[in-house]
Amino acid sequence: MTHGIRRIISGGQTGADRAALDVAIELAIDHGGWVPAGRWAEDGPIARRYRVRETDSPSPAVRTECNVRDADATLLFSHGTLSAGSALTLAIARQQGKPVLHVDLAELDDAKAAAHVSAWLATEGPKVLNVAGPRATSDPLIYDAVSRVLRRVLERG
């Protein structure tokens, strides 16, 4: 049902990261990931219901590197061009030689995005999937969009 994904990780930030963790919880998929020291996110400390671990650094870049390192593959979502932390995630994945897919939800509807992600997952076969993208204040629509696409992908497998 889940494309063989055993664990979904993210950096815990609002938006795409949080959507991935919430969908994992909803579908009873193991979840986790690295977050900045102090469990920092733009909406305050990341809730304890998320089974994430703190890095030794408050820098979001450190948690990004740890999550890419610990995942078999990274899935990046956006509405348009990648910026800030999302662009850094792409660069780190490429530097580490890890499979990475950027899905621009401004170009694909939910069904096409889900089909694209499903095909990629079938090819790459990750057991641990890192999901990343913009925070909610940068893209207020990203949480719902990522949630819808991930549900389609993971429920149908």
Nearby residues of 57 by Cβ (< 8 Å), 6 or more positions away: 36, 37, 63
pLDDT at 1 over 60: no
pLDDT digits (tens, 9 = 90+) for 6-32: 999 999 999 999 999 999 999 999 999
Note the pLDDT of residue 2: 66
Enter the pTM of the model: 0.95
pLDDT at 157 over 60: no
Which alpha helices (DSSP H) does the chain contain, by range? 16-26, 60-70, 84-96, 110-124, 142-156
Residue with tokens 């061009």: 81
Q: Give the whole-angstrom CA distance, residue 91 versus residue 106.
A: 21
- Phi (first) and psi of residue 37, to 5 degrees: -50, 140
pLDDT digits (tens, 9 = 90+) for 44-72: 999 999 999 999 999 999 999 999 999 99
Q: Indicate the residue type of 108.
A: L
- Phi (first) and psi of residue 153, to 5 degrees: -70, -50
Residues of the chain above pLDDT 70, percent: 98
In the predicted model, what is the mean pLDDT of the chain?
Answer: 95
At residue 102 the predicted structure's pLDDT band, cuts being 50, 70 and 90, is very high
Identify the CA nearest to 74 among candidates 84, 64, 60, 83: 64
Structural domains in the chain? 7-156 (3.40.50.450)
